[in-house]
Amino acid sequence: MANENTLQDIIGHCKEYGFVFPSSEIYDGLGAVYDYGQYGVELKRNIRDYWWRSMTQMHDNIVGLDAAIFMHPTVWKASGHVDNFSDPMIDNKDSKKRYRVDHLVEGFVENLDQEKADAMIASMEALLAADDFAGLKKLIEDNHIKCAVSGTCNWTDVRQFNLMFATEFGAVASDNPDDNKVYLRPETAQGIFVNFLNVQKSGRMKIPFGIAQTGKAFRNEIVARGFIFRMREFEQMEMQFFVRPGTQKQWYEYWKEARMQWHLSLGISPAKYKFHDHLKLAHYADMACDIEYDFPMGFKEVEGVHSRTDFDLTQHQEFSKKKMQYFDADIDPETGKAFGNYIPYVVETSIGLDRTVMMLLSEAYQIEDLSTEEKKDDRVVLKFPAFLAPIKLAVFPLTKKDGLPEIANELMNECRPLFKCFYEEKDAIGKRYRRQDAIGTPFCVTIDHQTKEDNMVTIRHRDSMQQERVPISEVKNIVMHSLQPL
Ligand code: ATP
């Protein structure tokens, strides 16, 4: 269940060791916006690259795209985001604090026993599915759910609140502010939909095929909490897979399984994951589930797999008056004729990059008690899989003299082009090891006086803390061998 201390420890650790900083911190930060520091940015990039490779390199029928963040305003009318991209909210009249209804109820049930909690979540989901706002308000009032700030049950009606950020485009001022209005995209998917035929034709893609994209998305989240779990500016990694109508169920099951396998390849135990099927489907979906991970705050969504039907492409065809059809020359065994023209169905996988960073931090962060009778000693270590670790190898000359830094630099020069290395000659070796543990570096190598005699170095393994003597010429291979996904 919830472990607020672990979350606070991770947040503190991220700041202290250069993973994540609050945005504009010297001005007291900006709500739910964060900056990635020197190690955070490497970790994030490694995850993004791994996802990208697993989509575009490991599937011959998936190609990449990098669409602009700004899009024609009609895109968001067609996609339904202008009308539907909203969450039911409720305000406390005394504190003026606004809550997402589902978050308010979820927070409340944390203190109930499991049976009561499950029953209440089930009622809430049924009411959400039916858009029954009066029922939701009654649920909150009947259970005397209080505002955490005012401590009262004095609630407004439940209302919808649109989550898109809008801004103005171009320099021309107009009397009607809507004329120049553009939105910051709340999901990357629409860039893929509007380019579907560009990619299909220029790449001569045959259905089934996918288009993958990573990039920023923006949502004016009302209740932004949980560190980089829920941000107002975040990054998504999405893949839209275009399929023949009628085959979407089969592909939905395929991608559910394939995405779970990807998660397990991060070295995370299956017990830390579960699927959560959606009862309330988004306006575009006919099947949808979340992949949930057991965060310090409990099981929460890290990725969504959605069967989006032909909703988006049909809408864009209607609003743009441009055909969004694909010609399928394959023969339908039932009719003996080509499948012909149709608007494809889409199965998408959509994962938050920042949430994945947070998942990996939650998984990797450990405090090990290495105390002896003489001395209390806690080791803080980030046990990332080596292929995702920000730094792969740290190189330490034992001293700053006697030619040891020169040998260390030779090793750095050999390894630097292949993976990220870190060089340090200050402080005792033990201290240097601990600093690398704290940022998750899987290997440290120490060059000592003996190295000059026999070309052997000490390699120290982060997780076991085992040390072994190996030829210096072997170090590069040892690290390279560890860089495969699990
Ligand atoms: P939630 O229910 O948590 O608001 P969602 O169901 O709205 O998420 P999707 O629209 O399916 O999320 O977006 C796909 C993925 O994008 C999510 O699984 C999540 O990893 C990520 N994501 C969505 N909103 C945010 C956010 N505000 N901050 C960070 N990541 C997010």
- d(CA 409, CA 429) in angstroms, rounded, equals 17
| Mean pLDDT on 17-27 | 97
* Residue 292 Cβ contacting ligand 1 at under 6 Å: no
Mean pLDDT value of segment 81-90: 87
When comparing pLDDT for 286 and 86, which is higher?
A: 286
From CA 443, how far away is CA 394, in angstroms rounded?
Answer: 6
Q: Which long-range contacts (CB under 8 A, 24 or more apart) does 30-33 make?
A: 31/224, 31/232, 32/221, 32/224, 32/225, 32/230, 32/231, 32/232, 33/231, 33/232, 33/233
What is the distance in A from the centroid of ligand 1 to the CA of 355? 8
Query: Where does the pLDDT of residue 198 fall: very low under 50, low under 70, confident under 90, or very high at 90 and above?
Result: very high
Q: What is the pLDDT of residue 486?
A: 72
pLDDT in tens, 265-298: 999 999 999 999 998 787 788 999 999 999 999 9
Whether 316 lines ligand 1, by a CB cut-off of 6 Å, is: no
Give the atom of ligand 1 at the shortest distance from the alpha carbon of 291: 18
Ligand 1 proximity of 236 Cβ (cutoff 6 Å): yes
Averaged pLDDT for residues 196-219: 98
Is any ligand 1 atom within 6 A of the Cβ of residue 200? no
Q: Closest Cα to residue 240, out of 65, 457, 444, 465? A: 65
Region 353-364 average pLDDT: 98
Write down the pLDDT at residue 5: 83
**Does ligand 1 have an atom closer than 6 angstroms to the CB of 351?**
yes
Please report, for residues 266, 370, 486, the alpha-carbon distance to residue 56 in angstroms, rounded to integers and kept in the order given. 18, 44, 19
Q: Which two tokens stand for residue 454?
A: 């026999």
Q: Is the CB of 424 under 6 A from ligand 1?
A: no
Which tens digits make up the pLDDT trace of 457-484? Answer: 999 999 999 999 999 999 999 999 999 8
With a pLDDT cut of 90, the percent of the chain lying above it is 86
Give the pLDDT of residue 175.
66
Which segment of 145-149, 221-225, 340-344, 362-366 scores lowest on mean pLDDT? 221-225
137 Cβ inside 6 Å of ligand 1: no
Distance (angstroms) between ligand 1 centre and the Cα of 100 equals: 14
Q: What is the pLDDT of residue 130?
A: 87
Q: Atom 13 of ligand 1 has which residue's CA nearest to it?
A: 350
| From 101-110, 260-269, 469-478, the region with the lowest mean pLDDT | 101-110
What's the token pair of residue 117?
């909690």
CA dist 346 and 108 (Å) reads 37
pLDDT of 314 strictly over 60? yes
Write out pLDDT tens, residues 134-153. 999 999 999 999 999 999 99
Element (H, E) at 299: strand 298-309
**Minimum CA distance residue for ligand 1 atom 29:** 230
pLDDT at 169 over 90: no
Nearest-CA residue for atom 21 of ligand 1: 352
Ligand 1 centroid, distance to 250 Cα (angstroms) = 24
Report pLDDT for 12. Answer: 97
* CB-facing half-sphere around the CA of 226: CA atoms within 13 A: 26
Q: What is the predicted pLDDT for the residue at 172?
A: 62
Q: Is 383 in the pocket of ligand 1 (CB under 6 A)?
A: no
Q: How far, in Å, CA of 209 to CA of 243, rounded? A: 7
d(CA 258, ligand 1 centre) in Å? 20
Is there an atom of ligand 1 within 6 Å of 230 CB? Answer: yes
- Predicted confidence at residue 313, as pLDDT, reads 98
| CA 406/CA 413 separation, integer angstroms | 10
What's the rounded mean pLDDT across residues 116-121? Answer: 93
Pocket of ligand 1 contains residue 185 by CB under 6 Å: no
C-alpha 70 – ligand 1 centre gap (Å): 20
Whether residue 439 has pLDDT greater than 50:
yes
Tell me: pLDDT of 1 over 50. no
Average pLDDT, rounded, for the chain: 94
In the block, tokens 């030829």 appear at: 471
What is the spatial distance between Cα 323 and Cα 328, in angstroms, rounded to a whole number?
15
Q: What is the mean pLDDT of residues 6-30?
A: 96
Give the Cβ contact number of residue 116 at 10 Å. Answer: 12
The total of other beta-carbon atoms located within 10 Å of residue 136's CB is 23
Q: What is the pLDDT of residues 298-312, one digit of tens each?
A: 999 999 999 999 999
pLDDT of res. 181: 86
CA-closest candidate to residue 272, choices 304, 254, 246, 298: 298
CA of 238, closest atom in ligand 1: 14
Span from the CA of 246 to the centroid of ligand 1 (angstroms): 27
**Statement: residue 2 has pLDDT above 50:** no
pTM for the full model?
A: 0.89
* Residue 235 Cβ < 6 Å to ligand 1: no
Which pLDDT value is given to residue 287? 95
Reply yes or no on whether the pLDDT at 322 is more than 90.
yes
Does ligand 1 come within 6 angstroms of the Cβ of 352? Answer: yes
Is any atom of ligand 1 closer than 6 Å to the C-beta of 182? Answer: no
Give residues with Cβ within 8 angstroms of 329, minimum separation 6. Answer: 338, 339
Angle between the 4-16 and 353-364 helix axes, to the nearest 10 degrees? Answer: 100
- Nearest residue (by CA) to ligand 1, atom 25, is 230
